Amino acid sequence: MSAVRDLVAVLRDPAVALAFDGARWTRLLSVARAEVLDGTLAHRCADLALPAPIAAMLADIRSASETATRRAVWEAEMARRALAPLGVAVILLKGTTYAAAGLDPAPGRQIGDLDILVPRDRIDAVEAALLGNGWEWVKQDDYDDAYYRRWMHELPPLVHSERDRMIDVHHTILPLTARPTPDAAAMIADAVPIGDGGLMMLSREDMICHAAAHLIADGDLAGGLRNLWDIDRLLRQFASDAPDFWDRLATRADRHDLGPAVARAVRLAHRLYATPLPNDWHKGARSDAVFVRRLLARNGWGQETHGVNRFAFYVRSHLLRMPLRQLLPHLATKWRKRGLGGTG
Amino acid sequence: MRHGLTLKIGPAAFRVGSDWRAPIADLRTLYADYPPAPDGFADFTVRLEAKRPWRRFVRPSVHLGGDYMLPDALPLSLAHGLLAAEMGMNLQMALGWRRHLLIHASAVEKDGRALILTGESGSGKSTLAAMLGERGWRLLGDEFTLLDLDSDSVRGFPRLVSLKNAGIAAVEAVADAARFGPRLEATPKGAIRHLVPRADAIARMDEPAAPALLLYPRYGFDAATRRLAKSENFMRLTQASTNYVALGERGFGTLSRFVESVPALALDYSDGEAGIAEVERLWTEHVG
């Protein structure tokens, strides 16, 4: 079995890794690192009786991820403090949410930037407050800056000058140019507190909608195995807590224009991670196989494979984000800037 | 990948893959006395890859990949493939290793106690460590010194010594010619030649040593020594460590104990022989 299929199989059922020899573990670990699932893998395998060198490396990975998680959650607290005087609730998105709220995808999950969601009409105040509290713009040119502000679902990225951590301030969950238009106001209105520390998170249904939008309706599926793992863990957790979860999820996905994206993400989670689904969620599309192929496009050295399929998803990601009449001038500008020595 | 090998160096095992034969052949020769990864398990993978298929043949340039990568690393020419492999292994350690506190330093051992040499690139620490390694000291490592987070001992990591520019001739004068790799001209760091550590350094690479003295050598200055305050030493070591921040509180604990217990001196020296003599004098004075 290929190393990337090994990764999926071990995440699903860690005990299968007991049969792997050292060389197979080497390939597994390379693929897991390339897919940024090494922390998750290390946690899933924490209780296995493995040879000492492998167990030691997995323990290292777990301790690294513990430190990284602590820093990420602290960064969320720093943002909360910076925005508290505005009376704007900080709604966490993605990885930081899972860690701060102790949700099931959290153990070992890598967390990159801090992603938060705030109401669009408060975005200027939020930006000013962050700039006043040590965050600064990552250097970019006027075109990129203007592009972000006019068309994107988030501010241009800001980085904290001392802690060197990036924050993405979203006002909705998909670019404004994308075809589906999720109801960001409803997401914000239905957000729920995380414990009593003053941070917020999306409702359970919205959390799945966002994860599915991010995976299926935005981007080129890079890091898709990780995002799909989040979806698998969240679905298992939420569905076992509330029997009517699936119906509420379907209703909510339709409201956000995300019915097909959510259905696709759910089916893919089932195909790869065996997420238990109700019968009416099984109805598959033949194109799911193309997505699976893209998600598994990596060899045992950790290198990307299936160039054509990969490139097709790259093109698709641009077409999803904006109509062709807007995409072509955008790419032309980017290309011209690259020619002039810009960073594209 | 078409060509590959595994290597164990001290506590870490590597898998190196390449689209070309030559860098792997060089590694096989130079690392001939090192064990392969036990049971084939490597902690890290390094890839020397052609970014486009035709770049294997046309103006071949080595793109450095692996488990841990720098986003904007520049490719190297195929003639520098061995250097790329070494840089790749360094990078995995710098970004991925968590079992020890990593200090950018060379280290040698005598009677179970370790002398650690740290400083900027060009300070002469590699040359000094290589020369000491030819004079009865056991080489513990060139690029990285590994401090155990629990026992505070220094763990051997005797990779090839990377000699640069003037350091090459100085060590060529004292070490067996058969232990040198090819001379690499005009690399981003100037001329480089790798030296295989002596057989005992490789055979005893799993034997730790107790840290006894830390020196900050500086080549090309009038002879002078100066004792470093613990505060300055601590700050400079946080800068010289690649994983101090990532280790969090454990890194802080290990580094604090190290600075409390190991004397540290800045050592300016004008030429290799004088430097060696001064190092050995300081060792006698502070360690015995």
**Using one digit for the tens of pLDDT, what is the confidence trace for A103-159?**
999 999 999 999 999 999 999 999 999 999 999 998 777 877 777 777 777 888 899
Give yes or no for A186 touching B (CB within 8 A).
no
Clarify whether residues B24 and B166 are in a common domain: no
Task: Give yes or no for residue A310 having a pLDDT over 90.
Answer: no
- Same domain for B22 and B83: yes
Q: How far is CA A21 from CA A8, A51, B40, B49, in A?
A: 17, 9, 8, 26
Residues B8 and B68 in one domain: yes
Mind telling me how many Å the CA of A60 is from chain B's nearest CA? 6
Would the CB atoms of A67 and B40 count as touching at under 8 Å? no
Nearest CA in chain B to A68: B246
Is residue A299 in some structural domain? Answer: yes
pLDDT band at A341 (very low <50, low <70, confident <90, very high): very low
As for how many domains chain B has, the answer is 2
pLDDT class for A284, splitting at 50, 70, 90?
confident
- Assess if residue A186 is contained within a domain: yes
Phi and psi, residue B2, nearest 5°: -75, -35
Binary contact (A25, B41; C-beta < 8 A):
yes
Express each pLDDT in A166-199 by its tens digit. 999 999 888 877 778 899 999 999 999 999 999 9
**Domain termination residue (choose one: B75, B96, B117):** B96
Average pLDDT over residues A250-274: 96
Largest distance between two CA atoms of chain A: 58
Task: Indicate if B249 and B204 belong to the same structural domain.
Answer: yes
pLDDT at A178: 74
Q: Are residues B72 and B171 in the same domain?
A: no
Task: Based on DSSP, count helices (H) and strands (E) in chain A, helices before strands.
Answer: 15, 7
The pLDDT confidence band at residue A14, using thresholds 50, 70 and 90, is: very high
Count of C-beta atoms within a 10 Å radius of residue A20: 18
Q: What CA–CA distance (Å, rounded) separates A304 from B166? A: 41
Considering only CB atoms, B41 lies closest to which of A22, A60, A63, namely A22
- Same domain? For B136 and B262 the reply is yes
**Optimal mutation site among A20, A61, A66, A67, interface B, most CBs of chain B within 10 A:** A67
Question: Is residue A89 included in any domain, yes or no?
Answer: yes
**Quick one: B120 and B195 in the same domain?**
yes
Number of domains in chain A: 1
The answer to whether residue A344 sits within a structural domain is: no
Give the residue among B133, B160, B138, B130 at the shortest CA–CA distance from B28: B160
What is the pLDDT at residue A10?
A: 98
CA distance A54 to chain B (A): 7
CATH number of the domain that residue B125 is part of: 3.40.50
Domain end among B44, B75, B96:
B96
Residues B189 and B263 grouped into a single domain: yes
Q: Of B64, B96, B128, which residue is a domain's last?
A: B96
Does residue B192 share a domain with residue B92?
A: no
What are the residue ranges in chain B where pLDDT is below 70?
A: none
Shortest distance, CA A24 to any CA of chain B (angstroms): 8
Interface of B with A in 210-249 (CB under 8 A): 246-248
Domain of residue A84: give its range.
Answer: 3-339
* Residue B223, min C-alpha distance to chain A (Å): 38
Partner residues linked to B50 by β-bridges: none
Say if CB A26 and CB A5 are below 8 A apart.
no
Q: Is a pLDDT exceeding 70 seen at residue A343?
A: no
**Set of chain B residues whose Cβ sits within 8 Å of the Cβ of A54:** 41
Residues of B in contact with A34 (CB under 8 A): 67
pLDDT per residue as tens digits for the range A293-306: 999 999 999 999 87
Rounded CA gap, A115 and A135, in Å? Answer: 14
* Cross-chain Cβ contact B45/A303 below 8 Å: no
The tens digit of pLDDT for each residue in B155-214 reads 999 999 999 988 999 999 999 999 999 999 999 889 999 999 999 999 999 999 999 999
Q: Which of A214, A190, A184 is nearest to A202 (CA)?
A: A190
Confidence of residue A338 (pLDDT cuts 50, 70, 90): low
Confidence of residue A339 (pLDDT cuts 50, 70, 90): low
Substitution target from B1, B98, B250 for chain A, most A beta carbons within 10 A: B98
Contact A29 B99 (CB under 8 A): no
- Residues of chain A found within 8 Å of residue B37, distances taken between Cβ atoms: 22, 26
Alpha carbon B4 to its chain centroid, in Å, reads 22
SS3 for B234? helix
- Kindly state whether residues B140 and B281 are assigned to the same domain: yes
What is the average pLDDT across A63-75? 94
Task: Say if A68 falls within a structural domain.
Answer: yes
Q: Please indicate, yes or no, whether residues B149 and B251 belong to a single structural domain of this protein.
A: yes
Query: Does A296 reside within a domain?
Result: yes
How high is the mean pLDDT of chain A? 91
How far is C-alpha A241 from the chain's CA centre?
23
The domain in which residue B282 lies consists of 100-286
CA–chain centroid gap for A300, Å, is 24
